[in-house]
Structure 1
Amino acid sequence: MTVATSLPTSPDLAGPHATSEWREMLRLAAPLVGANLLQMAVFAVDVLFVARLGAEALAASSLAVSIFGLLIWSLTGLVGATSPLIAAELGRRRHAVREVRRTVRMGAWVGVLAAVVAMALCQLGGPLLRATGQSEAVVVRAVPFLAVLSLACVPAVLSSLLRTVVSTLGRPGIGTAITALAVVVNGTGNWIFVYGHAGMPALGLMGSAWSSVVTSSAMLLAYAMVLRFDRRLHRYHLLGRWWRAEWRRFADVWKIGLPICATIVAEAGLFNGAALLIGRIGEVQLAAHTVAMQLAGMTFQVPFGLGQAATIRVGLAYGARDHAGIARAGWTALAMSVGFMGTMAAVMLAIPRLILGLYIDVGDPANAALVGYALQFLIVAAAFQLFDGAQATCGAVLRGLQDTRVPMTIAMFGYWVPGLLTAIGLGLYTPLGGMGVWLGLMAGLVCVAALLIWRWHRRDRLGLLP
């Protein structure tokens, strides 16, 4: 109710600059959304090739990628702290070349250090997977796969950093183009390494891991070339003097980035925990959960991209000490996000079987139970679409104000207390089963969205404005 009543009536969405803000937000967000969707396609390519190797190989790669993906996603949030910092610097002074270069340099230092830690954590994949009760045959194949995949940590984190940087500097389309290139490189790499083409030996499952390493490295090289040869970006000399320390900025990246990283881990913990809970309830419900979550994940990329754009737009206004601009950018992003997710919710409720038909044969009697559960989960997914979009975008606009510690606390409380506890209670101790777990997901999202919107609405009284 908070979301539905506060956004449309906000006076910050009206006025002579409102149309310009909507246009700028769309210009920045559209390529970011495209890049997010393409990134999902990069992972989908791996699944397409590995699935042909058998169920055991697919299970091993899925488990390894789940660990690797969580690490990289969280570290993306860590180095993403450079976005509000750079935006604020550009807001204060349009040609802040030296300040931008120093922030990027320290972001790279932080990213490399964190990526090395992530590589070490990947070596613990065996004990982690065995602790969750996975099949030993699958674990044996997943461990070496994850060891090779860990070599992609440094290039993947640095690529994410540079994507954030070029977007904040007004060139978001570059990230979209390079991610599209990554889809092609990964598809070609899997074709060569997995099945043994172009004179290479067939490496099977391990070939897919090596393809991911090559793809991440190719993305990093592509960004380096863009920074070197793009005239608009080259003037920042972002690759220069990489050995010089700027300890104050180094600390700023950690200060803003670590809470973002923890927020991502908290959210991932709820959704990964939901999969484990439903897995205990039954395989059919887990399959239905996977399909419904895939659909929800696709729609989530739009508010996620809007949030990335909002961090930049709010950050620019924050650096310029433009309170009206901060409000306009934040409320515009929230209105766009909630509006889109409301539309997607209506579509899910109107044609659920048609949507499920994109993934499974809804007419096959063998899939009747799967379809039945998936339809139930889609009803809940439609209901929490508004809150999912609101919490993602609102967290991002607060990052534009360099406010990350309290939102982290809100996320950890909301996702793990009302969210996970409700999922466990209703899922395992009532006849609701998988539906109870999904109601837990909704409880967590509603709680986090409401608290974040309250904090954004009271930003002035809470002393968050410059």
Structure 2
Amino acid sequence: MESDAEILPVAGRSEWRDELRAMFSLAWPLMLANLTTQIITATDVLLMGWLGATQLAAATLALNLTYTFNLLLLGLLIASSPMMATALGQRSNAVRDVRRTFRAGLWLLAFTLPPYWLLLWHVGDIMRALGQTEELASQGQTFLRAYMWCTAPWLLFQLLRNFVSALERPAVVLWLSVAGIGVNAALSWALIFGHFGLPALGLVGGGLGSTLTWATMCGALILFVSSDRHFRRFHLFGRFWRLDWERTLALVRLGWPIGATMALEMGVFALAAYFMGWIGTPAVAAHAVALQLAALTFMVPLGLGQAATVRVGLALGRGDRAGIARAGWTAWIVGVGFMGAMALIMWIVPRALVTLFLADVPENAVVIGLAVGFLRVAAAFQLVDGAQVIGAGMLRGLRDTKWPLVFALVGYWVVGLGIALWLAFSLDWRGVGIWIGLASGLAAVAVLMIWRWIMRESLGLTHLRHG
């Protein structure tokens, strides 16, 4: 086994500065794009909160199911990122290989979206089966039947984003995401409450506003990559009707563990929302607010993890073992440091953050109090949350996806869920116990991810495997 100190014996400060510069150049648009995308979701949560705690709880429960399945499909598409990056690193036949991978992503969407939409159409039945009240299930279904159609443009936008990121030019995604904040806020506000001459559609308006926003953003990105000189040479949509079974199956083989890993993490958080529903509607609303705040900070290490996948993948394609180590550790150190700073802010001023989403009035006192307690626990798991997502991105760049799936299964569903149920219901710690369980699961996964990264040489992960 060779350590990183042995792999990088002569790497001076200039190499690390160059890597930091390259990493940050790639990561900052991704981080901000992630952040702006999450702000779009947070805007929906904010507007639902203005409708009332019950509407917020219903929409949150429905969205949590959507997020879980969205991430499963997204994982299949995320596999295109290291595949494209490795092809570009090898340089030979890069244009053809990138186009084949992109086309495989299009076919995956064509195969998976129809059954997914059928599932979402009946989300109310799923919510009832998970023990939610008739009122929450009915309102959640009303919202999601308008919202569910945004999954197609959202997923296609992510596939296009992987393409521009692999070429290390992700800034266009940032600017479109920034524009999307304003478009979504205006559309959803107008359609929910009835402004600009539009009818007040309530929950339906919120779902419709998100669908129109993502359709607009996706259409704009398609036009850009089809016309920009740097991108159009790939002819991404050329003969898109040709089904490439070999590349599509390769994308599935690499991507299904990524999607399953992400879905397992989100699934635990979604299930936690349903546990909150067993405790009461105020607990669900408080969980939604605390989770949105935690999700906003999470967007930075998520972007660093995405950048690490590309940078590590490029180094893997070149056969540059020292470059692999520098790319991974640079992203990890920066991301964990940022999350440490965010943890301090959450711990010091949790109430000020919570009341950004909920008016500080007597009728919201219970929800605010619960959300503040949850956010203090969220502060404690900021470090491990950042460590695990960047660790996953580092391993993804090495095309290592199956063991991270095992880590997620054990960490989230055995350690995290087990501790959450024990603390919440056996010890009667209720909502805080659920959040401590979530934090424990994240910590377990973070330790396992970084252990595998450290062992990458002895495990043979730095040798490029084709297929």
Give the corresponding residue for 1:429: 426
* Distance in 2 of aligned mates of 1:233 and 1:413: 41
CA distance in 2, matches of 1:411, 1:335: 22
Q: Give the whole-Å Cα distance in 1 for the aligned partners of 2:454 and 2:323.
A: 14
**Residue number in structure 2 paired with 1:258:** 256
Equivalent of 2:439 in 429, 438, 442: 442
Separation in structure 1 between the aligned mates of residue 5 and residue 301 of structure 2, nearest angstrom: 17
Change over 3 Å in CA distance of 1:197–1:344 after alignment to 2: closer
| 1:9-20 to 2 correspondences below 5 Å | 15-20=13-18
Which one is further off, 124-133 or 196-205?
196-205
Match for 2:211 among 193, 201, 213?
213
Asked whether the 8 Å contact 1:130–1:136 carries over to 2, the reply is yes
In structure 2, relative to structure 1, the CA distance for the partners of 1:395 and 1:14 (3 Å cut) is farther
* Structure 2: distance between partners of 1:255 and 1:101: 18
CA separation in 2, counterparts of 1:447 and 1:60? 31
Tell me the distance in 1 between the aligned counterparts of 2:16 and 2:327.
Answer: 9
Mapped partners of 1:137, 1:454: distance in 2: 46
Structure 2 residue 180 is matched with structure 1 residue 182 = yes
2:140 matches 1:142:
yes
Q: Of residues 386, 389, 399 in structure 1, which corresponds to 2:386? A: 389
Does the 8 A contact of 1:7 with 1:335 survive in 2?
Answer: no
Does the 8 Å CA contact 2:132/2:274 hold for their aligned counterparts? no
Corresponding letter in the other structure for 1:463: G
In 2, Cα distance between equivalents of 1:52 and 1:355? 16
Matched length: 460
1:355 to 1:154, Cα distance in 2 relative to 1, 3 A: closer
- In the TM superposition, what is the alpha-carbon distance from 1:80 to its structure 2 partner? 0.9
Aligned to 1:237: 235
* 1:69-80 pair list within 5 angstroms: 69-80=67-78
The worse-fitting range, judged by mean Cα deviation, of 86-95 and 331-340 is 86-95
Q: 1:224 to 1:386 in 2, by over 3 A?
A: same
Alignment of 1:42-121 (within 5 A): 42-93=40-91, 96-121=94-119
Structure 2: distance between partners of 1:446 and 1:221: 39
Distance 2:427 2:460 in 1: 44
Stretch moving more, 144-153 or 22-31: 144-153
Match of 2:407 among 406, 410, 413: 410
Q: In the aligned structure 2, how far is the partner of 1:297 from the partner of 1:246?
A: 36
Q: Partner of 1:116: helix, strand, or coil? A: helix
Corresponding residue SS for 1:68:
helix
TM-score (norm 1): 0.90
CA distance in 1, matches of 2:373, 2:56: 27
Aligned partners of 1:356, 1:138: CA distance in 2, in Å? 23
- 8 Å contact kept, 1:47–1:58: yes
Tell me, which stretches of 5 or more residues in structure 1 are unaligned? 1-5
Distance 1:50 1:288 in 2: 13
**Quick one: structure 1 residues 86 and 300, their matched pair in 2 at CA, closer, same or farther if it must change by over 3 Å?**
same
Deviation at 1:326, TM superposition (A): 0.7
223-232 or 139-148, larger mean C-alpha shift: 139-148
Which residue of 1 is the match for residue 36 of structure 2? Answer: 38
Deviation at 1:59, TM superposition (A): 4.1
Cα distance in 2, alignment partners of residues 9 and 237 from structure 1: 43
Q: Report the CA distance shift for 1:337/1:18 in structure 2 as closer, same or farther (over 3 A).
A: same
Q: State, as a whole percentage, how many aligned pairs show the same letter.
A: 44
Q: What is the CA–CA distance in structure 1 between the aligned matches of 2:353 and 2:195, rounded to whole Å?
A: 36
The answer to which of 453-462 and 178-187 deviates more is: 178-187
Match of 1:461 in 2: 458
CA distance in 1, matches of 2:4, 2:118: 44
Change (3 A) 1:187 1:372: closer
CA distance in 2, matches of 1:323, 1:35: 30
Query: Counterparts of 2:261 and 2:457 in 1: how far apart (Å)?
Result: 23
Q: Are 1:346 and 2:331 an aligned pair?
A: no
- Per the alignment, do residues 209 and 439 of structure 1 end up closer, same or farther by CA in structure 2, a change over 3 Å counting? closer
Structure 2 residue 416 is the aligned partner of structure 1 residue 419: yes
Aligned twin of 2:327? 329
Contact map agreement 1:7 1:334 (CA 8 A) in 2: no
Supply the AA of the counterpart residue of 1:411.
A
1-side partners of 2:261 and 2:234: how far apart? 31
**Is this contact kept in 2: 1:72–1:156, CA < 8 A?**
no
Verify the 8 A CA contact 2:59 2:143 in the aligned structure 1. yes
Alignment correspondent of 1:272: 270
> Distance between the aligned counterparts of 1:370 and 1:38, measured in 2?
26
> Secondary structure in 2 aligned to 1:16?
helix
Q: Cα distance, 1:373 vs. partner?
A: 4.7
Unaligned runs of 5+ in 2: none
Distance 2:57 2:281 in 1: 14
In structure 2, the CA distance between the partners of 1:123 and 1:308, relative to structure 1 (3 Å rule), is same
Q: Which residue of 2 aligns with 1:3?
A: none
Distance 1:425 1:172 in 2: 44
Change (3 A) 1:286 1:52: closer
Q: In structure 2, what residue type is equivalent to 1:103?
A: T
1:420 alignment partner AA: L
The one-letter amino acid of 1:220's match is C
* Range with bigger deviation, 80-89 or 44-53: 44-53
1:128 Cα deviation after fit: 0.1
TM-score, L = length of structure 2: 0.90
The residue correspondences of 1:116-195 to structure 2 (distance < 5 A) are 116-195=114-193
**215 and 378 in structure 1: CA distance in 2 versus 1, 3 angstrom threshold:** closer
Question: Could you list the per-position Cα deviations for residues 198-226 of structure 1 after superposition, in whole angstroms to 9, with x for gaps in the alignment?
Answer: 66555443233222222222122111100
Matches within 5 A, 1:289-328: 289-328=287-326
Q: Is the 8 A contact 2:57 2:284 kept in 1?
A: no
**Change in CA separation of 1:47 and 1:436 when aligned onto 2, cut-off 3 Å:** closer
CA–CA distance in structure 1, aligned partners of residues 55 and 280 of structure 2? 22
- CA–CA distance in structure 2, aligned partners of residues 337 and 454 of structure 1: 17
Matched-pair contact (CA < 8 Å) for 1:78–1:111: no
Q: Counterparts of 2:354 and 2:201 in 1: how far apart (Å)? A: 34
- Asked whether the 8 Å contact 1:116–1:153 carries over to 2, the reply is no
Q: Cα distance, 1:68 vs. partner?
A: 2.6
The 3-state SS of whatever aligns with 2:381 is helix
Q: Deviations over 1:341-367 (max 9, x none)?
A: 1222233344445544545577x7777
